[in-house]
Amino acid sequence: MEFKDYYKILGVDADADDKAIKAAYRRLARKYHPDVSAEEGAEDKFKELSEAYEVLKDTDKRAQYDLVRQQGGAGPFRPPPGWESSGGGAGGAEFEGGFSDFFDEIFGQARHGSRQGYSRQHFARRGEDVELTLAIFLEDAYRGESRTISYEVPGFDEQGRLLRQQRTLKVKIPAGVIEGERIRLKGQGAPGIGDAPAGDLYLQIRFAPHPLYLVEGADLTVTVPIAPWEAALGCKLPVPTLDGLINLTVPANSQNGKRMRIRGKGLGKDDKRGDLYAVLHVTMPTTAGAKEQALWRQLSDESSFDPRDNWGKS
Amino acid sequence: MSETSYYLTLTELTQSVRVTTDTVITIVDCGIVQPRGEQPQQWLFEPQMVKLIQRACRLQRDLELDWPAVALALDLIEDLHKLREENQRLRRQLAILMELDTSL
């Protein structure tokens, strides 16, 4: 088992006082807290930090740890002969992932198992909530399809041993869900212990990238390439929506980048129903035949349009 | 077919997140979440709020923050998240436009 140098983890000296330990922990915790940090491996780093702090902030635990540290220091940690961890017995398993084996070896599992105050006399505990990410297609989100999902829940067998159970569930995705939305399936999480109820299952919706649409909350954006003459003269264009094609009327003299709203063709539902935006992208032909070129030239001669009018003239 | 149930009551919430009613009331008082309903016993929480409350509790415990500071941190995290998403979206939009320009 690997020896953990808690002082090194917190970046403090072995004779650091409580104040220095607290300050070091707080500084590093802000940096690596998984809810705050975008750094890679932040979660592991934070777990290490909180384990180190859990020991060093507590006078008894720190003294116990210092003893181990003096005896073993570097190299793999082996508990000294006759060493018995002070907790003993299997406490409640923590699904969030408890502390390291090294910690358990010194302080026993029950110590941190009891942090959450489980009473072992009449052990009943609501099952864990289970959270899954469900990647779906925009089309399915729009219509509300049903999907079959498989997942694992932690449970216990009759001897109280931890095991994983496979679950399969058919779920109706509510029409109009948006990215990041959480769907709750009551009682479909991990089974409860004793008489306690089961936890819930949460499905967090993620959209698979769509070749046509960009998604912003309940609104969708589609880029519509159009020819310069279509933008100049105006036209009616078939535009794909999640509901099928609709005819979009492009007014004459439309600018490149013009955003046109197609009401109610987004995601969401009821009063939160989003819209579809069609953004015009005037696209030039890359080649022009002699006749086309002549027409452009004619336009050039006829037109008084100066796109650089506001540059000022010297 | 499994039915989805939308709102959580205060009791369901406290069981799910393992927080006390008092903590939830403090969290609501700080404006971290705004449940439907007037009185705590009528409160209804959206599934989204469960995650936010879990996050609030972790920050409060792990960083030893007081609740108004937790509220501030969560607001800033949310802003950061939105900016990152917007940035990503704009990048994608830009990529689409550039592709349209070069593919012809």
**pLDDT tens string A113-145:** 444 444 444 577 888 899 999 999 999 999 888
Residue contact A202–B62, C-beta within 8 A = no
Q: Which residue of B has its CA nearest to A204?
A: B48
Rounded Cα distance between A234 and A23, Å, is: 66
How far out from the chain centre does Cα A223 lie? 27
| A37, A39, A169, A184: best to mutate for the B interface, most B CBs within 10 A | A184
Helix and strand element counts for chain A (H, E): 9, 11
- The pLDDT value given to residue B6: 80
**CATH numeric code, A130-207:** 2.60.260.20
The 10 Å CB-count burial string (b at 16+, else e) for A101-111 is ebbbbbbbbbb
A189 and A129 in contact (C-beta within 8 Å)? yes
Chain B neighbors of A33, CB-CB under 8 A: 58-59, 62-63
Assigned fold of A213-287: HSP40/DNAj peptide-binding domain (2.60.260)
* Residue from A103, A122, A144, A244 nearest A193 by CA: A122
- The pLDDT value given to residue A29: 92
Class of domain A6-122: mainly alpha
ipTM of this complex > 0.95? Answer: no
Average pLDDT over residues B47-71: 92
Residue contact A281–B97, C-beta within 8 A = yes
Chain B neighbors of A23, CB-CB under 8 A: none
Largest CA distance in chain B: 63
Contacts of A312 (CB under 8 A, 6+ apart): none
A277 and A261 in contact (C-beta within 8 Å)? yes
Same fold, A130-207 and A213-287: yes
Answer yes or no: is pLDDT of B66 > 90: yes
CA distance A170 to chain B (A): 5
- The pLDDT value given to residue A72: 67
- The pLDDT mean for chain B works out to 88
Tokens 């910690």 belong to residue: A103
* Residue from A15, A99, A112, A110 nearest A52 by CA: A99
The verdict on B91 touching A (C-beta cutoff 8 Å) is no
Residues of chain A falling short of pLDDT 70: 72-97, 109-122, 313-314
Rounded Cα distance between A241 and A277, Å, is: 10
- The pLDDT value given to residue A295: 95
Residue contact B97–A223, C-beta within 8 A = yes
Residues 11-50 of B with CB under 8 A from A: 15-16, 18, 46-48, 50
- The pLDDT value given to residue A23: 93
Specify the long-range contacts of residues A73-78, CB closer than 8 Å, at least 24 apart: A73/A3, A74/A3, A75/A3, A76/A1, A76/A2, A76/A3, A77/A1, A77/A2, A77/A3, A77/A4, A77/A102, A77/A105, A78/A1
Residue contact B62–A285, C-beta within 8 A = no
Q: What are the structure tokens assigned to A94, written together?
A: 């923590």
The verdict on A172 touching B (C-beta cutoff 8 Å) is yes
* Ranges of each domain in chain A: 6-122, 130-207, 213-287
Answer yes or no: is pLDDT of B1 > 70: no
Chain A neighbors of B101, CB-CB under 8 A: 283
- The pLDDT value given to residue B22: 95
Specify the long-range contacts of residues B54-63, CB closer than 8 Å, at least 24 apart: B54/B17, B55/A35, B56/B27, B56/B32, B57/B17, B57/B19, B57/B23, B58/A33, B58/A35, B59/A33, B59/A35, B59/A36, B62/A29, B62/A33, B62/A46, B62/A50, B63/A26, B63/A29, B63/A30, B63/A33
Rounded Cα distance between A220 and B60, Å, is: 37
pLDDT, one tens digit per residue, over B27-43 is 999 999 999 999 999 99
The verdict on B59 touching A (C-beta cutoff 8 Å) is yes
